[in-house]
């Protein structure tokens, strides 16, 4: 299946967060830059940014999800997000378990 870049995450935390977010909507995503699981091998070693790829037929749906995510980021953060008691990561209110440590 063809994959297309939908989002460029600033770091691996954000990339995993978005991957988890897409997974909630049954969208399979691939992270490029962190590992080379989809077989693109010639990346500069100093690239920290991680590309998030989704199947082409899921692009539209994924874009909606990510734009919601970005909107949420710009809304009042402290209102709904919660901090994980074990690893101190911030989770959105829609997450019942921590995205990072699954506690």
Task: With residue 92 as reference, give the H or E element that holds it.
Answer: none
20 phi and psi, to 5 degrees? -65, -40
How long a stretch of residues is the chain?
103
**Rounded to the nearest whole angstrom, what is the least distance from the CB of residue 40 to Zn ion in the complex?**
31
Contact positions vs Zn ion (CB under 5 A): 84, 86-87, 89, 98, 100-101, 103
Q: Least distance from C-beta 88 to Zn ion, angstroms?
A: 7
**68 vs 103, which CB is nearer to Zn ion?**
103
Specify the residue, 4 or 103, whose C-beta has the smaller distance to Zn ion: 103
Minimum distance from residue 94 beta carbon to Zn ion (Å): 15
Cα–Cα distance, 31 to 79 (Å, whole number)? 30
Nearer to Zn ion, 67 or 86 (CB): 86
The tokens describing 25, both together, are: 């909507």
């Amino acid at each position: 299946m063809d994959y297309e870049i939908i989002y460029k995450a600033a770091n691996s935390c954000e990339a995993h967060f978005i991957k988890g977010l897409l997974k909630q909507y049954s969208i399979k995503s691939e992270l490029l830059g962190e590992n080379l699981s989809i077989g693109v091998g010639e990346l500069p070693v100093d690239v920290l940014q991680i590309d998030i790829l989704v199947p082409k037929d899921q692009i539209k749906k994924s874009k909606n999800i990510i734009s919601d995510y970005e909107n949420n980021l710009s809304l009042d953060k402290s209102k709904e997000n919660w901090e994980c008691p074990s690893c101190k990561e911030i989770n959105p209110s829609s997450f019942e378990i921590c995205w990072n440590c699954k506690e």
